[in-house]
Structure 1
Amino acid sequence: MKNIGFLSFGHWTPSPHSKTQTASDTLLQSIDLAVAAEEVGVDGAYFRVHHFARQLASPFPLLAAVGARTSRIEIGTGVIDMRYENPMYFAEDAGAADLISGGRLQLGISRGSPEQVIEGWRYFGYSPAEGETEADMARRHTEVMLQVLQGQGFAEPNPRPMFPNPPGLLRLEPHSEGLRQRIWWGAGSNATAEWAAQRGMNLMSSTLKDDETGEAFHIQQAKQIRAFREEWARHDHGFEPRVSVSRSIIPIVTDEDRAYFLGQRDAQDQIGMIDEKTRAIFGRSYTAEPDALVEELAKDEAIAEADTLLITVPNQLGVDYNAQLMSNFVEHVAKPLGWK
């Protein structure tokens, strides 16, 4: 059995062929898609965060709205770039959204990926400290946020406050109990997966990672997951970790599916460079008739290792198309594989 979720980048474009021509279209349809996904039996609604782009950017208003409109489905991100985040505001916003949803938030965070502008986090008021890299800064923000989410008091109360204070040091409010155990780290390498395990974060592994061995993507990703679990076992975090992987999977069921996706060229892993210095491997897409998908996905070692699978959706095709795509995946692929 696996948790099955969708991951939306939330693209919009004024193209007449797009069902999401504005930011408003994307935001409102993201809420509707989460509602539809819950209705067809999908377990999670996850959203990507990209700044300075025509994509979803500020996650917490969207997550809160989805939480208010749904009752069961997990709600998450994949991922929030911590280079841009104030860890205190992050903890407050996350606590509020989690309480609105009834404790269903699953927040994927990371050190970030190449962005639309040069050092975009500087426009948000953040700069690495002396001797830090931008990745170090993201991890520092993360460490502070994780500590604050524990819910322990740390701030000295005013002796003459506007409102009466409880005794002792004060914590940020609202605090949502249990949210600390629902933080996921988007790891691009084996080393960062182990770093996440040391700090008690769940593992979120995407469709790309550092090419560390030259092997097929799914094999390298499976090794990353095993390294994470081995490191986790060396610590006492008090709960069992979760692991998610992302895939582009399109079951070809209808003529519309065939028109849009049959004959795609990315059926093999790809190699590329990130930041002009890191060799990365990009996982293949799976686009085929359901019987062929069942056979191919059964061979994916990383999916076998993970408890959660996130399917990237072509959000610009609209809510109805993506709801049917997810329903087809659950019925014709996930169930035959024994995942649902």
Structure 2
Amino acid sequence: MKKIGFLSFGHWANHPAYSTKTAGDTLLQSIDLAVAAEELGMDGAYFRVHHFAKQLASPFPLLAAIGAKTTKIEIGTGVIDMRYENPLYMVEDAGAADLISGGRLQLGIGRGSPEQVIDGWRYFGYEPAEGETDADMGRRKGLEFFEKLKGTGFAEPNPNPMFPNPPGLLPLEPFSQGLQDRIWWGSGSDATAVWAGKVGMNLQSSTLKFDESGKPFHIQQAEQIRLFRQAWKEAGHEREPRVSVSRSVFAIVSEQDRYYFGHEAGRTDKIGFIEADKRAIFGRSYAAEPDQLIKELAKDEAIQEADTVLLTIPNTLGVDYNVHVLSSILEHVAPGLGWR
């Protein structure tokens, strides 16, 4: 059994073929799709965060809105780039959104990926400390956010406050019990997966990672997940961790599906560079008729290792078509793989 969610990048553009021509279209359709996905029986609605782009960027208003209009579905990100974030303010935003949803937030955070502008986090007022890289800064801020979610007091109270303070050091409010257990680290390497396991965050592994062995993508990703689980066990954390992988998967059950995604059939992994000097491997897309799709996905080792599969969706094609994409997977593919 696996949890199955969708992952939206939230694109929009004034393009004739797009249903999401504006930011407002994307935000409102994201809410509608999450509501529809819950009605279908999907387990999660997840959203990517990008800055300086016509894509979703500020996740908490969207997550809170979805939380207020749904009752069961997990609501998350994949991932928030911590280089751009104020960890303490984010604790407050996350706590509020989690309380609105009744404790359904599943926040993916990370150091981020190359962005639309050079060192975009500088425009947000952030600089790495002396001796830090921007990746180090992202991990440091991610860990600060994670630790402050414990709800432990750390701030010295004012002796003459506007309102009476409780005794002791003060924590951030609102505090949402259990949210810290629902933080995921988006990892693109074996080393950062091990780091996440040691500190006690769940693991999100995307459709790309640094090419560290030359093996096929799904095998490298499966090995990354095993290293994470080993680090988690060695650290002695009490609960069981969760692991998600994201995939582009399309069941071709109509001519419209074939028109949109038939060209994806037979695709293979790709090699590229996500930074100037770092070779990366990008996982293939899956598109086929259901019986063939089941055979291909059954061979994906990383999917077998994960408890959660996030299906990347073509959000620009509108709510109705994406409901069709998701329902096709649930109806024609998931049972054959034992996911349902």
Residue 149 of structure 2 corresponds to which residue in structure 1?
149
For 2:293, the equivalent position in structure 1 comes to: 293
Distance 2:76 2:30 in 1: 12
Counterparts of 1:65 and 1:24, CA distance in 2: 13
Match of 2:257 in 1: 257
C-alpha deviation, 1:131, in angstroms: 0.8
Structure 1 residue ranges, 4+ long, deviating more than 4 angstroms after superposition: none
Q: Residue 174 of structure 1 aligns to a residue in which SS?
A: coil
Amino acid in the other structure paired with 1:102 = G
Aligned partner letter, 1:198? K
Residue 159 (structure 1) aligns with: 159
The separation in 2 between residues aligned to 1:155 and 1:237, in whole angstroms, is: 27
- Cα deviation 1:109-149 (Å, max 9, x = unaligned): 11010000000000000000111100011111112111110
Task: Quote how far apart the aligned CAs of 1:16 are.
Answer: 1.2
1:43 aligns with 2:43: yes
**How many Å separate the matches in 2 of 1:87 and 1:132?**
17
Q: Return the letter of the residue paired with 2:303.
A: I
**Structure 1 residues 186 and 102: alpha-carbon distance in aligned structure 2, compared to 1, 3 A threshold:** same
The residue type equivalent to 1:250 in the other structure is F
- Amino acid of the residue matched to residue 157 of structure 1? P
CA RMSD of aligned residues (A): 0.8
Counterparts of 1:265 and 1:80, CA distance in 2: 31
Q: For residues 59 and 266 of structure 1, do their structure 2 counterparts lie closer, same or farther at Cα, with a shift above 3 Å needed?
A: farther
Q: SS where residue 19 of structure 1 aligns?
A: coil
Q: Deviations over 1:187-234 (max 9, x none)?
A: 111110000001100000000001111111000000000000011111
State which drifts further: 164-173 or 93-102: 164-173
TM-score normalised to structure 1 length: 0.99
Q: Which residue of 2 aligns with 1:58?
A: 58
Q: Could you list the per-position Cα deviations for residues 71-97 of structure 1 after superposition, in whole angstroms to 9, with x for gaps in the alignment? A: 000000000000000000110000000
On the 8 A contact 2:265/2:287 being kept in 1, the answer is: no
Q: TM-score, normalised by structure 2?
A: 0.99
Task: Report 1:241-280 matches (<5 A).
Answer: 241-264=241-264, 267-280=267-280
Deviation of the 1:167 alpha carbon? 1.3
Within a 5 Å distance, the mapping from 1:1-340 to structure 2 comes to: 1-264=1-264, 267-340=267-340
Cα shift at 1:266: 7.0
Q: Give the gaps of 5 or more residues in structure 1.
A: none
Q: Would you say the 8 A contact 2:264–2:286 is kept in 1?
A: no
Rounded Cα–Cα distance in structure 1 between residues aligned with 2:166 and 2:101: 26
- What 5-or-longer segments of structure 2 have no aligned partner? none
State the one-letter code of the partner of 1:52.
F
- For 1:295 and 1:120, the matched residues in 2 are separated by 42
Question: Identity rate of aligned residues, in percent?
Answer: 71
